[in-house]
Structure 1
Amino acid sequence: MAVSTLFFIALLLLLSLPLPTTATCTITTHNPTANALLLRGTVLLSRGATPHTYILVSHADSTISYVGPSNPMRWFPGFISHVIATEVECDDDDDTVISPGFVNTHEHVEFSTVEPLKWTGELNEHRHDWRRGLRNHTLRAVGVNGSVADAVTWGELRHLFSGTTSIVGGKMVPGLVRNLDFVSGLGPGLDAPAATWDVFPLDDAAGLLSRDDCDYGPEPIDRETAGKAHRYLAHIGEGIDDWARNEFACLSDTTSTDIVAPNLALVHALALSPAAFDLVAARRAMVVWSPRSNVFLYGKTLDVAYLAHARITVALGTDWLPSGSATMQREATCATAVTLQSYNVELAPHDVWEMMTINAARVAGFEQSLGSIAVGKVADIVVFGRGPGVQMADPFARAVYADTRDIELVLRGGKAMVAAESLQELAEGRCEMVMFGDAQKTVCVEDDMGVSYSELEQRLGGVYPAVLAGVPRDEPSCVASR
């Protein structure tokens, strides 16, 4: 336990150190009339990190048209004679990595302008304890700060600025990140249907609790409706007691409503027993893991190693700002630290990266289009420069534990949304300079929002920041206490 605590403390200290801002990617050939972008560098793939790899992005359809070790502009001129590319080279020897954009499958994005909850020492056993003040617990319900549209926009900016290009968040605004639970929010290159997001599948929002039967709200989910969903992401078993466990029992029992199927992703699933997870595995259902919120509210989180051993697809999600993580990288930092502390298991950065990319895309039902760098997939790509994460010799760690100051480039559908100083010529449309800590970036979001980032920031008047460098202020604890 002492070693685990020391590791966690050292991790937080490491992530708060000042970072170098030297350019790690440069434009080697700039074509003002380019219809494609050619990237070269160390590319993160499920089979491993591949240095000296080229990625050709087509602007015509926002997709990746080539991935390989040879420069297609030189070796396949007949195949791509119509291509005029701007070329970007990222130094393989300088810790720079190229990753698919992160996919956050658990976010309540309308709460993005509030402050994180303060730690009081009180732990809960079920989500209704804190959200309804039941069973002698303190009511800690959170309201939206200002307009929903502004809060959602601000939250999407925070994720986009840290390398997350898709979310499942319950609310949306046009543009910015892809909203995988709204057909209108999928963005170029993705086709319907969207994922289905359900916070109260048992219709228990009023605080209804049950331990011995399935008598919840009058309109719970039914098997036919859940079965028709492309992907059904449902909050189930958020808590640690028999009342939380009963939720899964009621949704997996053939005498009640059995919805456990390959299209189901259980959000939280904290109350489930090993036997319940064995059923999840047997039915090929999936899990969305939000360790920071679990630890802060309930004192513990899942034994994710058990789920991995059972071959359950696990995606990482931030939950929400009040008790979760502000960015996917902060959630990854928590996931690594608390798994070591609680279960003495050291998560491989590669495995955490898959929870943030291809696993998350699969959970949302878009693994054919998102979550990896491959021909035919949409060009949602992030370039991370040298960063402060643990095990920095590991190329996957450079992405999953990266600081926002290390973002070199964020592409959504091949369009530059964030670019470092050395890559600002890639920026198109209405763009502006924004400081990410001590690093200057060009951000191109005004075309999507209809207002500049600086104007929105001024209008919101000092809410929790969208740009976070280092450890976010007042971040909820990720030290398990149960």
Structure 2
Amino acid sequence: MGKSCIQEAKTRKTTFIHCTDSVISPGFINLHEHLDFSTFRPLADNGVKVNHRHDWRVGTRRNERRETEVNGSVADAVKWGELRHVFSGTTSIVGGPMASGLTRNLDHVAGLEAGLYNPAATWAVFPLDDMSGILRNGDCDYGPNATTGDTAGKIYRYLAHVGEGVDAEAANEFQCFSSETYDVTPAPAGGGLSYDIIAPNLALVHALGLTEADFDLVAERGAHVVWSPRSNVFLYGKTLNVSYLLEAGVNVALGTDWLPSGSATMAREAVCALSVTKESYKRTIESKTMWEMMTINAAHAASFEDHIGSLAPSKLADIVIFSTSPSLSYHDPFARAIYAPEENIELVMRGGKILVAGTGLEDLATGACESVAFGDVTKTICVEEELGASYVEFEKKLGGVYPAILPCVPPDEPSCEPTR
């Protein structure tokens, strides 16, 4: 990576790709996914908006429990989910389980892939040990194995689901992680104390229940927020006023959450983020700002900003090239990247390995590759070594699950229309 083609590069048999009217971007980084649900179709909209994740997860407070069982094997679902993100320009992900060789899995040492090294980020869905559906207000009597201040302080990068909801119980979760004096009485079964873990090594996933004063503290401490607006709106009827976070100085990254209630791709999450911010808060998000949430901001939140998230000398070759088309009206290069349909992706490269190549770039692809239709165009994909089978064979084995190659608006996409 450099500003000019220096003589040294020319003499070492460097491959040059001449792009005309294309946009070259670092690969997208998705810090919030649940890859094991990647073969599960989006939930039907029943018109009900709940107040806390346990309301729909386990049916607390007489709410309907929404069934989201893993469809097929976890291993196959994870591979399928990573394929969906690779095909749409994502090269790094935090998603729980992992598959080798597709996206970089930033929460697994074994999944960092060439060029990234231990330690990996730590991903926590239930940091308060409340998986059974514990709701509290006024104390921290969650499970006995909730994360403590000492534990959180020793973690390299802690991405923790906190405050997923719009009620006092969601707000209470942040209180239990932001004050050592909020609850000083141990619970009889263990745990029950509050801690202050708000620090630069923390990234809060969702954080929907936080107040502006809470976000001021997050900004002051240098902590991060991972924002998933589509899932917020679909389940709870609203999402964060991200403009306030940005103006307060909070580093915000974008994440898709999961297929049942979130976005199938980062591009669709960006579309939702833009529209809901306009509708709910009468604010706009500049394309460059959105692009940063999907690249360098996310790299910073996961603490890999020295290696990925931007195009710069010595950084890894995680690169996506986007073409233009008459159907894409954006002239802004950042918008052309983040809102592009998959047909416009000319190249996806992770660590120098080409995973997707468009028309005219097929000769660059190496290894076991095959031609696959992306809408009205054909692309060369090179994923057989990672799948242990050709893409066509793997898709057939799964038997009609939600597609990995998607049109501009995916089928049955969860609504991004706010109701609160």
The TM tier, using the shorter chain, reads: over 0.9
Match of 1:336 among 270, 274, 297: 274
**Mapping 1:228-243, distance limit 5 Å:** 228-243=154-169
Match of 1:91 among 20, 29, 37: 20
Amino acid paired to 2:127: P
2-structure distance, mates of 1:234, 1:89: 42
Assess if the C-alpha contact under 8 Å between 1:390 and 1:397 holds in 2: no
SS of 1:89's equivalent in the other structure is coil
> In the alignment, which residue of structure 2 is the partner of 1:438?
376
Assess if the C-alpha contact under 8 Å between 1:389 and 1:402 holds in 2: no
> In the alignment, which residue of structure 2 is the partner of 1:393?
331
> In the alignment, which residue of structure 2 is the partner of 1:100?
26
1-structure distance, mates of 2:177, 2:327: 40
Match of 1:360 among 298, 319, 326: 298
Assess if the C-alpha contact under 8 Å between 1:387 and 1:403 holds in 2: no
**What per-residue deviation string (whole Å, max 9, x for no partner) do you get for residues 233-275 of structure 1?**
0000000000000000001012221110000000000000001
**In proportion to residue count, which structure has more strand?**
1
Task: Find out whether 1:109 has 2:35 as its counterpart.
Answer: yes
> In the alignment, which residue of structure 2 is the partner of 1:220?
146
Match of 2:313 among 375, 394, 403: 375
Assess if the C-alpha contact under 8 Å between 1:236 and 1:269 holds in 2: yes
Task: Find out whether 1:67 has 2:2 as its counterpart.
Answer: yes
CA distance 1:176–1:127, change in 2 (3 Å): same
Assess if the C-alpha contact under 8 Å between 1:210 and 1:246 holds in 2: yes
1-structure distance, mates of 2:344, 2:195: 47
1-structure distance, mates of 2:67, 2:215: 30
Assess if the C-alpha contact under 8 Å between 2:55 and 2:65 holds in 1: yes
CA distance 1:391–1:315, change in 2 (3 Å): farther
Q: Give the TM-score of the pair, scaled to structure 2.
A: 0.96
Assess if the C-alpha contact under 8 Å between 2:387 and 2:394 holds in 1: no
Match of 2:345 among 395, 404, 407: 407
- Name the stretch that deviates more: 391-400 or 373-382: 391-400
SS of 1:472's equivalent in the other structure is coil
Q: Give the TM-score of the pair, scaled to structure 1.
A: 0.83
1-structure distance, mates of 2:165, 2:60: 13
Runs of 4+ in structure 1 deviating by more than 4 angstroms, as ranges, are 387-391
SS of 1:262's equivalent in the other structure is coil
Task: Find out whether 1:254 has 2:254 as its counterpart.
Answer: no
- Displacement after TM superposition at 1:135 (Å): 0.7
2-structure distance, mates of 1:172, 1:415: 19
> In the alignment, which residue of structure 1 is the partner of 2:83?
157
Q: How many residues align?
A: 408
Match of 1:196 among 122, 129, 153: 122
- Displacement after TM superposition at 1:389 (Å): 8.1
Task: Find out whether 1:323 has 2:261 as its counterpart.
Answer: yes
> In the alignment, which residue of structure 1 is the partner of 2:234?
296
2-structure distance, mates of 1:388, 1:289: 31
1-structure distance, mates of 2:343, 2:63: 40
- Displacement after TM superposition at 1:421 (Å): 1.8
Assess if the C-alpha contact under 8 Å between 1:299 and 1:481 holds in 2: yes
Assess if the C-alpha contact under 8 Å between 2:328 and 2:340 holds in 1: no
Assess if the C-alpha contact under 8 Å between 1:385 and 1:407 holds in 2: yes
- Displacement after TM superposition at 1:478 (Å): 0.3
Output the aligned Cα RMSD: 1.1
SS of 2:17's equivalent in the other structure is strand
Amino acid paired to 2:56: W
- Name the stretch that deviates more: 81-90 or 223-232: 81-90
SS of 2:395's equivalent in the other structure is helix
2-structure distance, mates of 1:247, 1:259: 12
Assess if the C-alpha contact under 8 Å between 1:260 and 1:283 holds in 2: yes
> In the alignment, which residue of structure 2 is the partner of 1:270?
208
1-structure distance, mates of 2:400, 2:283: 39
> In the alignment, which residue of structure 1 is the partner of 2:392?
454
In structure 1, stretches of 5+ residues that fail to align are 1-65
**What per-residue deviation string (whole Å, max 9, x for no partner) do you get for residues 397-445 of structure 1?**
0011011111100011111100002100011000000101111000000
> In the alignment, which residue of structure 2 is the partner of 1:27?
none
CA distance 1:456–1:99, change in 2 (3 Å): same
2-structure distance, mates of 1:295, 1:211: 23
Amino acid paired to 1:135: R
- Name the stretch that deviates more: 250-259 or 279-288: 250-259
Amino acid paired to 2:5: N
> In the alignment, which residue of structure 2 is the partner of 1:26?
none
State the identity as a percent: 61
- Displacement after TM superposition at 1:87 (Å): 1.7
- Displacement after TM superposition at 1:81 (Å): 6.3
Assess if the C-alpha contact under 8 Å between 1:389 and 1:397 holds in 2: no
Task: Find out whether 1:123 has 2:45 as its counterpart.
Answer: no
In structure 2, stretches of 5+ residues that fail to align are 182-193
Assess if the C-alpha contact under 8 Å between 1:104 and 1:317 holds in 2: yes
Amino acid paired to 2:126: F
> In the alignment, which residue of structure 2 is the partner of 1:46?
none
Assess if the C-alpha contact under 8 Å between 1:287 and 1:314 holds in 2: yes
1-structure distance, mates of 2:387, 2:411: 26
2-structure distance, mates of 1:346, 1:389: 23
2-structure distance, mates of 1:370, 1:125: 36
- Displacement after TM superposition at 1:388 (Å): 7.5
2-structure distance, mates of 1:203, 1:153: 28
